[in-house]
Chains A and B, each alone.
Chain A
Amino acid sequence: MRIYDLAFVCRSKNAGPFQFTVDLMFQNEADFERVLQAANFTPTAIGALCDADPARIHIKPFRRILTIKVVLPRRCGSGGPGDTDVYGSQQHFPLGAMEIA
């Protein structure tokens, strides 16, 4: 199942001009754990999918509200030459399309 279908909120936004944050909110603990524990839900796999350095990808679970935050580096500074999404609000893909077993 795709992350986009497992989460009830799947959104992205700038976290400052040089990073995106993708927030994945789940309606139940089972879906939250299913994504968090998935073998392919790692900085390495996400880095390969998003063309990003895994060392700069951070996965931060926020159990209190069954949310996983993924911080990704932007490929260029927000609003600078070459940017395609100044606010970063449509960068929850390709991560949203990642298949979770």
Chain B
Amino acid sequence: MKEEIRYLSLCGLLGYGYAPESLANALAEPLDFIGVDAGSTDPGPYYLGSGKGFVKRLQVKRDLALALPEALSRKIPLIIGSAGGAGARPHVDATLEVLQEIAAEKKLRFTVAVVYSDLDVGQLRQWAAQGRLTPCGGAPEFDPACLDQLAHPVAQFGTEPIIRALQSGADVILSGRCCDTAIFASYPIMHGFPAGLALHAAKIAECGALCARPVGANDSLIVTLRHDAMTVRPPNPIRACTPDSVAAHSLYEQPDPECFFEPEGMIDMRQAEFLSAGERGVTVRGTTLAPAAKPTLKLEGAVRRGWRTITIAGVRDPVAIANLDAIESGVRAAVATSMAGVSSDYSLRFLRYGVDAVSGGLEAPPEPLPREAGLLIEAIGPTQEIADTVLSLARSSALHQAFPNRKATAGNLAFPFSPSDFHGGEVFEFALYHLLDTTGLELDFPLVLKEVGGHADL
């Protein structure tokens, strides 16, 4: 049995970048694997719904092109989790294409174990009917009416499918949507390391050097895992971990700083100790795992709610700023009149930057009102054409809308651009963010082995 596992988390998010010296420094000592998390729900449901990535292809290529040849030459696995951001099939396949491109350019040849996490809508319907879905993290109850419009439903699986992929002996593991921890905990758990500690280490590792000071989601972290403790240290000498910086990391984007839940169970950090290790490292021990009372997986899916068009303009006239409510209600009435008989299926929104746009009206407008205000008008409609039409009507009405005591009778808005209106494209909403009770279910996440590269030699 291995006594120690040493791995590198390349960066906080594939495509965010990392210092090349960090990789070089980390490779100065032996590593068991290199992992990188590519996923997040943070940028919103659009990316899952549309099948697009939220970091650009060239960013992903840069980050992989440096690390891939190093992993291959050392015969250590490179594990990419939640590929393409949202981890559905189009995202995974786009990342596979990047790997193929790198292989062709660098004349590399390797095997990729691809694990897809996509769900079948028919199966979801069945699970919903069986009452297996419960809201996760404050989500509303699942609405089965959304099933027919659900784009790219995925399961966020844990370590099991990635362990299976590692056991295939592939050089690169390319995983669809998975728990961030699964990327880094699968290898240690496969080798018999305690799951609680392995998952806690993975939770820290998945954000790269975010647990260091200065923080660096765009830099690497080395984790050394033993059976009774783990040590984290940034390979970049400009950064250091401290007991407080590592303990504080468990606050980040988490509802509870002292425990978190994964398919493997509840990771309990209440008894964890954080101790300095050398000048820039921190050793953690004492984390435990309480197995889950019933097995669950988190599911994610998005539904399209229409198409968006927006315009942005500034307002300087003080009476106009004092009358933004009156302008808005006048515009709404004018648009409704013009859209009668065309389509009533649209929504309009006015965001008043400088006044109350960010808090969404939770706070009263400032007194005195600002000298300038930014007005963003948004239209969402069932087609892009309807959104364009509604927005166009709203924009021209807002420009000329009358209100009490108006002095600037030639126009209310300063548009910085021509054309003034912009397509936001499809608008999605998270409709599936639920836990699936997997008791008695045999879930099959297909593993596909691909040979990549080598054609340049033929």
Q: A-side interface residues toward B, CB under 8 Å?
A: 13-19, 21, 23, 25, 49-51, 56, 58, 60, 62, 64-65, 67, 69, 71, 73-75, 77-87, 90-91, 93-94, 97
B 44-98 contacts with A by CB, 8 A:
44-46
Closest to A77 in B: B430
B358–A90 touching, CB < 8 Å: yes
**How near does chain A come to B361, taking the closest CB pair, in angstroms?**
9
Q: Are A13 and B253 in contact (CB-based, < 8 A)?
A: yes
User: Given A14-B253, A18-B433, do A84 and B44 touch, yes or no (CB 8 Å)?
Assistant: no
* A67 pairs with B139, CB closer than 8 A: no
**Contact between A21 and B255, CB atoms less than 8 A apart:** yes
A65 and B429: CB pair below 8 A? no
- A14 and B305 CA atoms in complex are apart in Å by 21
Q: Count residues of chain B with CB under 8 A from any CB of chain A.
A: 39
Residue interface mask B358-389, A partner, CB < 8 A = 1: 11101100000000000000001000000000
B255–A17 touching, CB < 8 Å: no
A79 x B44 contact (CB < 8 A)? yes
Which residue of A is nearest B254, CB measured? Answer: A15
User: What's the Cα separation between A82 and B427 when bound, in Å?
Assistant: 11
Q: Quick one: which of B258, B360, B380 contacts A75, CB cutoff 8 A? A: B360
Instruction: Please report which residues of chain B, range 134-170, place their CB below 8 angstroms from some CB of chain A when the two chains form the complex.
Output: 136-140
Q: Given A56-B138, A60-B257, A69-B257, A16 and B41 touching (CB < 8 A)?
A: yes
Q: Across the interface, do B358 and A78 meet the contact criterion of CB distance under 8 Å?
A: no
- Contact A79 to B359, CB < 8 A, known contacts A17-B433, A18-B137, A58-B255: no
Choice from A19, A67, A87, A94 contacting B248 with Cβ under 8 Å: A67
Binary interface profile of B, 82-126, with partner A (CB < 8 Å = 1, else 0)? 000000000000000000000000000000000000000000000
Asked if residues A14 and B255 are in contact (CB atoms below 8 Å), the reply is no
